[in-house]
Amino acid sequence: MNYCLYCHQFYSETWSWSALFGLKAEPLLCQSCTAKLELIRGDICRICGRPFSLFPEQYRQGDSCYDCIRWEEDEEWAGLLQQNRSLYVYNDFLKKVIAKMKYRGDAELIKAFYPLSRSKFKSITQNSLLVPIPLSKERQYERGFNQAEIFAKSLTGNVQPLLKRVTHEEKQSKKTRKDRMAKKNNPFIVIDEDGVKNKSILLIDDVYTTGSTLRYAAKVMKDAGADQVSSVTLAR
């Protein structure tokens, strides 16, 4: 019998990732919890990775969603983030899982996603520097860990903490969409510019919401001489 990291129920060892995805590792979530997760499949926005099946056709233009089109039409942000790829849809259940991990200190939960994320993102992590989105000192102290850094270290690749957050802000989860997308001073700086120059950077975070956090990080990376910047997140 195994023990589910989220609901804490015991479940049969016959339930495995191998049965679903051909992976050898045993799952750390039970069948019931895993069934509530929505893998991103099918046709997606070429930039942000948003599945087109989840919103009306009129919010799409060709292979891009309107959110990304608006970003790309702004000269300040155009071309900064080459692409984002995410594992799951940020549905109600995954919101609860991530909230438990981030705000109730259950860092072990991120391990539940290791086998599938390593398999899915292997091809795009091997030739890039993996740079986790940092927390402010205050937020790091509150939580005791950075979930993006833990997620980054679970992936195949070279993890480098090359970013520093220089401002402390209200939690993104408490902001409205309008507030998240409002112009502001860039909260990030590059710690080692020589380590960034001419490199392919892969930013790592837990959730892609409006894309503003990742684009602010991508901007300082490109300004420091990065060749290209993409991102991977657990949820979209």
Which structure tokens are listed for 92? 């109600």
pLDDT at 173: 52
- Gap between the Cα atoms of 170 and 168, Å rounded: 7
Give the helix/strand (H/E) hosting 203.
strand 200-207
Domain-located, residue 4: no
| Residues in the chain where the model's pLDDT stays below 70 | 1, 13-27, 168-183
The confidence score (pLDDT) of residue 180 equals 54
CATH number at residue 216: 3.40.50
Does residue 10 belong to any structural domain of this protein? no
Sequence-separated (6 or more) residues with CB below 8 Å from residue 74? none
Q: What is the mean pLDDT of the chain?
A: 88
> Residue 6 domain-assigned?
no
122's enclosing H/E stretch is: helix 114-125
Q: Find, among 59, 107, 69, 110, the residue nearest to 235 by Cα.
A: 110
Q: What is the pLDDT of residues 199-210, one digit of tens each?
A: 999 999 999 999
The pTM of the full predicted model, rounded to 2 decimals, is 0.88
Q: Please indicate, yes or no, if residue 58 is contained in any of the structural domains.
A: yes
Q: Return d(Cα 189, Cα 40) in angstroms, integer.
A: 31
Which residue range forms the structural domain that includes residue 151?
Answer: 36-235
The count of structural domains within the chain is 1
In a domain, 101, yes or no: yes
* Residue 22 lies inside a defined structural domain of this protein: no
**Does a structural domain hold residue 9?**
no
With tokens 């991990």, the residue in question is: 101
What is the C-alpha separation between 20 and 232, in angstroms, rounded? 22
